[in-house]
Amino acid sequence: MLQAQITSLSNSLSFIQQENVKFVDPQVGCVKEKEDLDRKFLRTGMIHEFRRVRELKKVHEINELRLAQDLKREEESHKSLLVQ
């Protein structure tokens, strides 16, 4: 009789532990998915920020080039006015 109760309690405990594992697994999966999504979001944000900075640098370089060309033209026109 006592052995039957021990076996029954053991089986119940085993069943409860399995249910707890089933219950915890989706949560762990959700946490892992959230962490993965956070990492992807961060990585995507970093990529977009890198591209944005790269484009800004490109625009800045183009503006500097235009300013240098304008300055060169102004210097040439100034020299031509001095020669006349």
Per-residue pLDDT of the chain (84 residues; tens, 9 = 90+): 777 878 887 777 676 666 655 555 566 667 778 888 888 888 888 888 999 999 999 999 999 999 999 999 999 998 888 877
pTM: 0.47
pLDDT of 35 reads 86
What is the rounded distance in angstroms from the CA atom of residue 70 to the CA atom of residue 63?
10
pLDDT of 19 reads 62
What is the rounded distance in angstroms from the CA atom of residue 7 to the CA atom of residue 71?
94
pLDDT of 66 reads 94
